[in-house]
Chains A and B, each alone.
Chain A
């Protein structure tokens, strides 16, 4: 188990406070690529899915083969899988 992630706990707490202080005026996300992929407020013990932003897309041929159109989402789980 990697415990290094807790080394900079003060920095984490500080960032957490900053994040909580920022109040979004509009809950609808902006799509300018500058927004954080995470919600402005991230309470502890909750799981968060990063908000997707536009990136590279593949050809329809590759997309069907990879199971996604978006290059950022290509995660081939080949170990123990049935694929090829």
Chain B
């Protein structure tokens, strides 16, 4: 797996963990352990997405941080991946 795919996989793993905690917190809104874990992985995901944006471009259009070029069009279409 190339570095780009590896980082994308990391983000997917964080996303899944956050979704699981999201669902748990929906029924356990006062659980401090879940809240703390959510904050921890929210930060880790944020850092991973920033790293991805800097190295490989945007994952979603609003993450286009390049002032010189609309890098969104450089990413492959879903059917080209």
Contacts and interface: CB of A to CB of B under 8 A. Distances in A.
Contacts of A48: none
B27 A61 contact: no
Interface string B26-39: 01101101100100
- Interface extent on A, as a size class? 10 to 19
Contact of B17 (A29, A31, A51, A63): A63
A61 B24 CA distance: 18
**B10, B17, B28 pick with most chain A CB within 10 angstroms:** B17
A57 B13 contact: no
A31 B16 contact: no
Interface in A2-54: 29, 31, 51-52, 54
B37 A57 contact: yes
Contacts of A57: 37
Contacts, number: 36
B31 A31 contact: yes
A64 interface: yes
A68 B24 contact: no
B52 interface: no
A70 B20 CA distance: 8
B6 to A, nearest CB: 11
B41 interface: yes
Interface of B: 10, 12-14, 16-17, 20-21, 24, 27-28, 30-31, 33-34, 37, 41
